[in-house]
Structure 1
Amino acid sequence: MRLAGKVAIVTGGTRGLGRAIAEAYVKEGCQVVCAAREAGPDGAGDLAFRQVDVRDPASVRALMRTVYDAYGRLDLLVANAGVSRPGPSAELAPQDWAEVIDTNLNGTFLCAREAVPYLEKDGGGRIVTMSSALATRVARGSAAYASSKAAIEMFTRVAAVEFAPRGITVNCLSPGFIDEGMGRELARNERLWSHYGGKISVGRAGGADDVARAALFLAVEDSAYVNGHVLEVNGGLSW
């Protein structure tokens, strides 16, 4: 029970990787609040749920205040909420570009910014952001998503330096091809998988539990001296 007594917010926590991370934290004794625009197809299950739109500063501010008032502390934030709108750069609709940047990058910034005053109240805490292998690897049609994730990695490094005096570490997870959430479509597309599957040295797509275990490492005492790091969880992905 390495997170006993801790309170965490996981945005985008009602499905996919966010849900897997939330459940991993709960197994270690953490009180987890899954925050998303909607509860998801099967609800939040045994997990607490709070509605939030990470693109809206007032909504994010209210989320942090509500969780702190309800539980009396906030120790962990996983800024996981994200969307993808693939398409060639010359044809990508401006509104699709804006939605990806606003949700992925601005949402991460807003959540981190609003969490800081609460995280530092009890001597500090942890922020985990979410990137992607596409932040550092070129793939046609990924301009909006890849750009947002590359920016999140740099935001993580800057925030890690700025928040450290407050006792807050900031690290980033960078999943590769994961058979969960957005990555599930790729793993099940025979044509695409025949091209990309061979680039994974361990010979398989990752599972949500692979990412959740890495997220758990960044939340527990074992990673206390890790700050500003981008942890790739991709099975040894070459390109």
Structure 2
Amino acid sequence: MTTAGQKVAVITGASQGIGAGLVDAYRKLGYGVVATSRTIAPSADPEVLAVQGDIADPATAERVIAAGIERFGRIDTLVNNAGVFIAKPFTEYTSADYEAVNGVNLTGFFRITQLAVEQMLAQGTGHVVQITTSLVDHASSDVTSVLASLTKGGLQSATKALAIEYAGRGIRSNAVALGIVKTPMHPEAYHETLAAMHPLGRMGEVGDVTEAVIYLEGASFVTGEILHVDGGQSAGH
């Protein structure tokens, strides 16, 4: 169980990059953390519960939320960070690509968010955050991204719908729409090219993302917000 007054965050896609940064950021706030990904290793920190599983499988969502409630007794925040990005010309996407992207980006969001919101309703308070992409609002001829826009765009719409559905019941819902962030996903050889795709002339850092999520965590009057952390990409070029 949590110590008196301790809050608890569930973070998907938590083993590396942005997800690992979010685990650290919530621990610095004093939160207990339930961290899940396919490859996550057990944590030496007793306040971090690691749960392995593929978020595209609804059974993983059931295990993650059940384990979190069993260990900590509550769930205050869910960060839907797990995501798959496959850049291909639209006509070259395969059915396997479609299943993979939908599985993580949409199915992965759906069941775990239902279960987390049920728990938040019982508590009378909670916060859900989706990590999306600014390509949803500002398509780029440099990046072929229909599957990303289809799925992450759906998440942005759902973010607003959740915000309004639960505004009167103590639960907030927000999203952070990203530019290209320096993570193990992007080989260093491409960093200069990727940096040039942002009006600010650099790639995002994991810290830029965690700062935005932690801002939303404390911003009690903000719900239904799509916060762009994208080096100016969504504003124009």
Could you state the TM-score of these two structures normalised by the residue count of structure 1? 0.87
Kept in 1: contact 2:49–2:68 (CA 8 A): no
Letter in 2 for 1:178: V
Partner of 1:144: 147
Structure 1 stretches lacking a partner, 5+ long: none
Match among 179, 183, 200 for residue 180 of structure 1: 183
The whole-number CA distance in structure 2 between the counterparts of 1:155 and 1:98 is 20
Kept in 2: contact 1:14–1:44 (CA 8 A): no
The whole-number CA distance in structure 2 between the counterparts of 1:14 and 1:135 is 25
Moved over 3 A (4+): 43-47, 196-199
Structure 2 stretches lacking a partner, 5+ long: none
Partner of 2:132: 131
Partner of 1:230: 226
Structure 1 residue 28 displacement after superposition: 1.3
Matched-pair identity in %: 30
Partner of 1:201: 199
Structure 1 residue 167 displacement after superposition: 1.1
Letter in 1 for 2:99: A
The whole-number CA distance in structure 2 between the counterparts of 1:110 and 1:227 is 21
Partner of 1:98: 99
Q: Secondary structure of 1:38's match?
A: coil
Q: Secondary structure of 1:131's match?
A: strand
* Structure 1, 205-214 or 136-145: larger mean CA deviation: 136-145
Structure 1 residue 45 displacement after superposition: 5.5
Q: Across the two proteins, how many residue pairs are aligned to each other?
A: 227
Kept in 1: contact 2:132–2:175 (CA 8 A): yes
With over 3 angstroms needed to count, the CA separation of the structure-2 counterparts of 1:188 and 1:163, relative to structure 1, is farther
Aligned-residue RMSD, C-alpha: 1.9
